[in-house]
Amino acid sequence: MATSNQSSKKPTGIFRLRQEIPGWLFTASGFAVPAIILLLWWGLTAGGLVRPLFLPSPAAVLGEGWRQLTEGILLRDASVSIYRIVVGWLAATIVAVPVGILMGNYRIIEGALEPLISTVRYMPVVALIPLSILWAGIGDGQKILILFLGTFFQQALMIMDNVKNIDMNLIRAGQTLGFSNGEILRRIILPAASPGIWDTFRITMGWTWTYLVVAELVAANEGLGRRIMDAQRYLATDTIIWGTLFIGLLGLLTDYLFKLGGRSLFRWHGDAR
């Protein structure tokens, strides 16, 4: 990439627009920023500049994590929360996939549902908690309902877009070859849209994670989100920070798993990086 003959004018190295950089540098920079934040955090707390009530030291937070792990709380919380997330997300997905696909292919269905879904998706899910309790009780069902509501509407619209974004000529080719509408849907539109839909799965799963605390806000005894809300009552800042970080970590892990899955499912797909 480097052009040697204009070395005097060339802005040095990594800060040229859209310039590729070595892979190790890309990865290293991703580790560097958290490392710097961690260092700052450590510096602030170690020097006694901030009281532990407001910001406990990294060691204290890790210690809290260790305590939860050894006492079995972490595993129990995590399994309860993951169960809710998976069921909530799956329920949303099972409905959103057919709805999104139909909306993407039939203008009449898009016309009928798009205004409704677009309105509902701006309604704050937190505000729906009272209704969700009224309708779904205080058990797991209510948590799953909240996760469903937080995920479904966005997801349906995104899947509609995934379907709409495929090359119209693929459908035309299918029509010319004599395939029926159903066959074109199943054998052309669906596979063509699948890498995009998979990416929507990955992104919406991230959103489901962010709704976890909201879902476990009321009437929950266990769960990663519940643990954080409880800690608020006792000003257990280390528990709050540990819980938040742990949810983030699990989210990152899910994201990574989806990326990995996508890469092996869609080897044929062009712009997978």
Give the shortest CB-189-to-another protein separation in angstroms: 11
Phi/psi at 77 (5° precision): -55, -50
CA distance 267 to 96: 25
Question: Shortest gap between Cβ of 184 and another protein (angstroms)?
Answer: 11
For residues 83 and 266, which CB has a smaller minimum distance to another protein in the complex?
A: 266
Residue 233 or 267: the one with the smaller Cβ distance to another protein is 267
* Most distant pair of Cα atoms in the chain: their distance: 76
Closest CB to another protein among residues 162, 208: 162
Contact criterion met (CB below 8 Å) for 121 and 157: yes
Question: CB of residue 188 vs another protein: minimum separation in angstroms?
Answer: 7
Minimum distance, C-beta of residue 254 to another protein, in the bound complex (Å): 25
Residue 71 or 167 having the CB closest to another protein: 167
Q: In sequence order, what are the residues at sequence separation of 6 or more whose Cβ sits closer than 8 angstroms to the Cβ of residue 205?
A: 85, 89, 254, 255, 258
Residue type (1 letter), 183: E
CB of 97 vs another protein, minimal distance in Å:
18
- Which residues contact another protein (rule: CB under 8 A)? 167, 169-170, 172-173, 175-179, 188, 191-192, 194, 266-270
Instruction: Pick between residue 41 and residue 179 the one whose CB is nearest to another protein.
Output: 179
Residue showing tokens 């908690």: 129
Rounded CA-CA distance 4/12 in Å is 12
